[in-house]
Structure 1
Amino acid sequence: MVAVAILAAGRGTRMKSDLPKVCHKLGSLSMVERVLENCLGVEPQRRLVIVGYQRERVQQSLATYSGVEFVEQAQQLGTGHAVQQLLPSLEDFTGDLLVLNGDVPLLRSSTIKHLLETHQTHQNAATLLTAQMPNPQGYGRVFCDGENRLTQIIEDRDCTAAQKQNHRINAGVYCFNWSKLAPVLPKLEANNDQKEYYLTDVVNFLDPVMAVDVEDYEEILGINDRKQLATAYDILQTRVKDTWMKAGVTLINPDSITIDDTVELQPDVIIEPQTHLRGKTKIGSGTRVGPGSLIENSQLGQQVTVLYSVVSDSVVKDNTRIGPYAHLRGHAEV
């Protein structure tokens, strides 16, 4: 049995927004929605979201996700304190607990699955996701033996100059044997500069603990401000566009094109520069869109041409030409 806990209680003051950080959109979905979607591949029996700042707003944003449980962290006193709040909810739980961050939305489903499989294969008490980061400043460092068994984790602010030369960082993503973790959580102490309860401290009480390196370190990049949000969007767009080009879609000047990862395209679609595809859009084979067009939540048939136009919430049938300078909306059918 697997449970997933998503840490989503923080305000995110560096976002300079009243909106909770995890509710900010990254493409077509919010950050926390992406994390929920990414964990579905491990088929968790329980999904718990730890909420705090504007918890009602976070809960409302996830209203369409059935079966999600919400656990309140009234005071944000660190990651260890957040997971402590799960103790009443998971009192009778005996499986594995995946701990994910609501502001780390680029983590692939395959990476989460690999972390869980490694954890279960080796029957670890805990398994940490790690990464070899080119610039590890600000991240906790992970030290392991030759078999990737963890020996020590040190937060960046507590590292010596020599320890900071280690580029293996803690991604803040964990898999625990809950039966072994639960009795350890009350032992955590806030003996650090921030006076917070670090979840990383539980490894001092657990054995065995193993680290698993992620192949692509960009997956574990956290989002704390608008610049990092924009960087994450660029990474997501590169993934989406690379996937479609490999599938037989032509993108002319890809850097000027944006495509939501909810869009569906058939082979031999051609997307011209300065064109943006949004929402639940579907486009048929042989269709040419752009330049300078926006297609949103619409269906375009085969061999359609759209030139300098906007199509929203509409259906365009095969062999139709739209534009230039047309605006279809309001469930139009052409």
Structure 2
Amino acid sequence: MQTRAIILAAGKGTRMKSEKYKVLHEVCGTPMIQHVIGNLREAGISDIYVVLGHGSETVSNYLGESIHTTIQEEQLGTAHAVRQWQDTLHDKDGHTMVVCGDTPLISDTTMQAFMHYHLETGSKATILSSRTQMPFGYGRIVRKENGSVKRIVEEKDATDLEREIKEVSSGTFIFDNRTLFEALDKVNNDNAQNEYYLPDVISILRDQRARVEAYVTPDFEETLGINDRVALANAEEVMRKRINTLHMQNGVTLIHPEMTYIDKEVEIGSDTVIYPGAIIRGKTEIGRSAMISSGSEIKDSIIGDGVEIRQSVVTSSKVGRGTKVGPFAQLRPESELGEEVKIGNFVEVKKAKLENEAKVSHLSYIGDASIGARSNIGCGTITVNYDGKNKFRTEIGQDAFIGCNSNLVAPVKIGARSFIAAGSTITDEVPDDSLAIARNRQTTKDGYYKKDN
């Protein structure tokens, strides 16, 4: 039978103290609701329904059309939230998992085991629970003497004895779908918050002598919900450790994992070494046997095999095999470096393509340009690409040599095997195999200082 999922994401998240909608806050570079969706899909659930609250247009836009969304007009509790899908789902066969949008750490492996347990036991409802020595704030799992689930009691409604219970609900459930929506009609708001609690469905089903189970996940950290910035930081730490462990198991060397920041979608080849303080973000791919030093930040880029990046920033760029970048260089978006290229200290590259073995060793700006293979760009060279209104390109052929402190005023073409004399300002095309000198002849005024004084 089909299993679908309802994600509860209508909470305002006031404790986040943010203009950003709660479930769009990122954990290791990915919005927490996207973690939940991704884990559901990895667990085999593709039919996903989301309950949002007011001001959620940004979430709807982010999720796109592949996810069903609806609005909970009033925040009247979790049972009321699930009922927003009653007209659509009440008569469907199969099972429905209900999960909170602020629980990004529940892994696909746990979700699969949870579903398997539910189906294996044949229960009408199964609770994902865990055990903690610090249960404050969580709904407690109240069991009968035979170990079966009797009910879930919320913190504010619990007795002193019930508050001592260490098994807590994660807020994630699986129900027989028809049973869920039939029971929702019987939920009332006779509680301290005057809300319609989804856990009350458990008590209703027990009164009907329906089978209710709880699957205890051994890792309490997986069930952590994120309600404020402290919890967000804790979740980031847990997930970062999970991500880094997986990379190390796949053959990546992290010199100091606790000080290495890698987003979830990053892919890294074996034998690559990453030093403490490196930040690797977004959809970045790093090849085999690369080296990323401390102080480097890479985002949404493709880094080839054997590349070395030292104390540099790389954004939305491609770096070919064996290329060396840095120290203290910046590759801005749409930069593309070929194989065995050298980008040295204090070089900035923007929207430029450098062919194999090209060299820009230090103190240069290469923007809106194409640099031919094996060309050597001298210290202090600037491609003058902007006239205050428009951007223009500089084209340099292969095996060219650009002398130090040259200004290449775009649009301009420098031919293959051409030389530009140091200190030149080039405004006209330079043909292949040519030498261009564009500077005033030196004038020396002997005794100038004595004359003025």
TM-score scaled by length of structure 2: 0.71
Aligned to 2:68: 69
Aligned to 2:286: 283
Residue 218 (structure 1) aligned with residue 241 (structure 2): no
1:194-251 Cα shifts (integer Å, max 9, x gaps): 0001111111222100000012100110101111111110111011111111222111
Tell me which amino acid in the other structure corresponds to 2:322. Answer: N
Aligned to 2:169: 170
3-state SS in 2 of match to 1:183 = helix
Aligned to 1:41: 42
Residue 16 (structure 1) aligned with residue 17 (structure 2): yes
CA separation of 1:302/1:147 partners in 2, compared to 1, >3 Å: closer, same or farther? farther
State whether residues 275 and 294 of structure 1, in contact with CA within 8 Å, keep that contact through their aligned partners in structure 2. Answer: yes
How far apart are the structure 2 equivalents of 1:138 and 1:304? Answer: 49
Q: Within 5 Å, give how 1:5-154 maps onto structure 2.
A: 5-63=6-64, 66-145=65-144, 148-154=147-153
How far did residue 121 of structure 1 move? 1.4
How far apart are the structure 2 equivalents of 1:67 and 1:303? Answer: 39
3-state SS in 1 of match to 2:136 = coil
Tell me which amino acid in the other structure corresponds to 1:11. Answer: K
CA separation of 1:147/1:129 partners in 2, compared to 1, >3 Å: closer, same or farther? farther
Aligned to 1:257: 260
1:155-181 Cα shifts (integer Å, max 9, x gaps): 112222222221000110000001112
Aligned to 1:274: 277
How far did residue 146 of structure 1 move? 6.7
CA separation of 1:143/1:314 partners in 2, compared to 1, >3 Å: closer, same or farther? same
5+ residue gaps, structure 1, are: none
Tell me which amino acid in the other structure corresponds to 1:280. Answer: K
State whether residues 148 and 212 of structure 1, in contact with CA within 8 Å, keep that contact through their aligned partners in structure 2. Answer: no
Aligned to 2:197: 198
State whether residues 3 and 45 of structure 2, in contact with CA within 8 Å, keep that contact through their aligned partners in structure 1. Answer: yes
1:229-279 Cα shifts (integer Å, max 9, x gaps): 111101110111111112221112222210011111111100012111111
State whether residues 133 and 217 of structure 1, in contact with CA within 8 Å, keep that contact through their aligned partners in structure 2. Answer: yes
The percent identity for this pair of structures is 36
3-state SS in 2 of match to 1:88 = helix
CA separation of 1:100/1:313 partners in 2, compared to 1, >3 Å: closer, same or farther? same
How far apart are the structure 2 equivalents of 1:319 and 1:45? Answer: 41
Structure possessing the higher relative contact order (Cα contacts under 8 Å, 6 or more residues apart): 1
How far apart are the structure 2 equivalents of 1:303 and 1:45? Answer: 38
Tell me which amino acid in the other structure corresponds to 2:37. Answer: L
Aligned to 2:421: none
CA separation of 1:167/1:75 partners in 2, compared to 1, >3 Å: closer, same or farther? same
How far apart are the structure 1 equivalents of 2:319 and 2:46? Answer: 41
How far did residue 101 of structure 1 move? 0.2
How far apart are the structure 2 equivalents of 1:21 and 1:311? Answer: 29
How far did residue 152 of structure 1 move? 2.4
How far did residue 149 of structure 1 move? 2.1
How far apart are the structure 2 equivalents of 1:329 and 1:15? Answer: 32
3-state SS in 2 of match to 1:152 = strand
How far apart are the structure 1 equivalents of 2:58 and 2:320? Answer: 40
State whether residues 266 and 280 of structure 2, in contact with CA within 8 Å, keep that contact through their aligned partners in structure 1. Answer: yes
3-state SS in 2 of match to 1:120 = helix
TM-score scaled by length of structure 1: 0.96
Aligned to 2:314: 311
How far apart are the structure 2 equivalents of 1:44 and 1:230? Answer: 28
How far apart are the structure 2 equivalents of 1:5 and 1:269? Answer: 40
How far did residue 314 of structure 1 move? 1.1
Deviating 4+ runs (over 6 angstroms): none
Tell me which amino acid in the other structure corresponds to 2:230. Answer: K
Two-structure CA RMSD over aligned residues (Å): 1.4
Tell me which amino acid in the other structure corresponds to 1:315. Answer: K
3-state SS in 1 of match to 2:50 = strand
How far did residue 134 of structure 1 move? 2.0
1:281-321 Cα shifts (integer Å, max 9, x gaps): 11111111112101111111111111111111111111111
CA separation of 1:325/1:88 partners in 2, compared to 1, >3 Å: closer, same or farther? same
How far apart are the structure 2 equivalents of 1:295 and 1:147? Answer: 55
State whether residues 289 and 306 of structure 1, in contact with CA within 8 Å, keep that contact through their aligned partners in structure 2. Answer: yes
Tell me which amino acid in the other structure corresponds to 1:314. Answer: S
How far did residue 145 of structure 1 move? 4.2
Larger deviation, residues 84-93 vs 173-182: 84-93
